[in-house]
């Protein structure tokens, strides 16, 4: 069984566990699962030093991390949120609470961000203090599995290549405790690990780990390069 097949099997098992326990809904399968306890996980994350010291946060757009994004804006942090599927040349929304009169819980939603927040490219962004990522399964070593589309890895690689994410940037995920598994997880060269896992009841500090230094072109399917404008632009520079 290859890495992709192993990852798929773990995801299916975790989605089933969440649904069977009634902490997520059947439509979570195939996505970053929203879960009962996400507000509490965001509250626990806000109690940590990395959160309190962060001025800039990059977060995924999924509902599970909406409480985290709302807290970031309420605390006056500058928030970058990925455009879904990295589908535009400027692949991030800039949500600046100092420039917005929209309540944080609304401004942090994907729908409102798309309608009211400017899109920016990496050349317009500030260095990222904290990366918040959505996760399907994660272990205590910080190895995480997303939903399988690979967008988070690409976003982080773009930011790393442009010096906006570095060794001082803290990577965190908020998940239900059922998503934390006590086993080795399959890992590819382009995958990044997290430094902190926050559940509805625990804060788990993961050991230091290697991070990819940027985009790994051999692992990038041609159709993905064609579908993501910023990748197409960089591919032309890389291969010419």
CATH for 114: 3.40.50.10420
Q: Which domain holds residue 128?
A: 3-239
Which helix (H) or strand (E) segment is 182 a member of? none
pTM (2 d.p.): 0.95
Residues 6+ apart with CB under 8 A from 173: 132, 133, 134, 135, 138, 144, 194, 196, 197, 198
What is the per-residue pLDDT for 226? 87
Query: Could you report the average pLDDT of every consecutive run of 10 residues in the chain (240 residues)?
Result: 90 98 96 98 98 98 97 98 91 95 96 96 97 98 93 94 96 98 93 97 94 87 88 82
Domain total of the chain: 1
The DSSP string of 78-110 is EEEEEPGGG-SSS-EEEE-GGG--S-HHHHTSH
């Amino acid at each position: 069984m290859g890495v992709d097949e192993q990852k798929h099997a773990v995801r299916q098992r975790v989605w089933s566990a969440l649904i069977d326990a009634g902490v997520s809904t059947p439509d979570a399968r195939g996505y970053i699962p929203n879960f009962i306890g996400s507000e509490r996980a965001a509250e626990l994350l806000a109690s940590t030093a990395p959160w309190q010291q962060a001025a800039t946060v990059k977060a995924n757009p999924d509902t599970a991390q909406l409480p985290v994004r709302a807290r970031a804006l309420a605390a006056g942090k500058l928030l970058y949120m990925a455009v879904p599927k990295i589908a535009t040349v400027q692949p991030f929304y800039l949500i600046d609470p100092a420039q917005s009169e929209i309540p944080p819980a609304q401004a942090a939603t994907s729908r409102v961000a798309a309608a009211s927040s400017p899109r920016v490219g990496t050349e317009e962004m500030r260095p990222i203090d904290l990366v918040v990522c959505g996760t399907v399964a994660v272990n205590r070593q910080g190895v995480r599995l997303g939903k399988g589309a690979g967008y988070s890895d690409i976003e982080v690689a773009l930011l790393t290549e442009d010096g906006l994410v570095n060794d001082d940037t803290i990577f965190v995920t908020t998940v239900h405790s059922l998503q934390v598994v006590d086993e080795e997880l399959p890992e590819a060269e382009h995958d990044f690990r997290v430094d902190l896992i926050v559940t509805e009841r625990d804060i788990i500090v993961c050991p230091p780990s290697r991070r990819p230094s940027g985009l790994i072109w051999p692992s990038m399917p041609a159709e993905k390069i064609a579908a993501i404008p910023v990748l197409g632009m960089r591919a032309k520079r890389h291969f010419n």
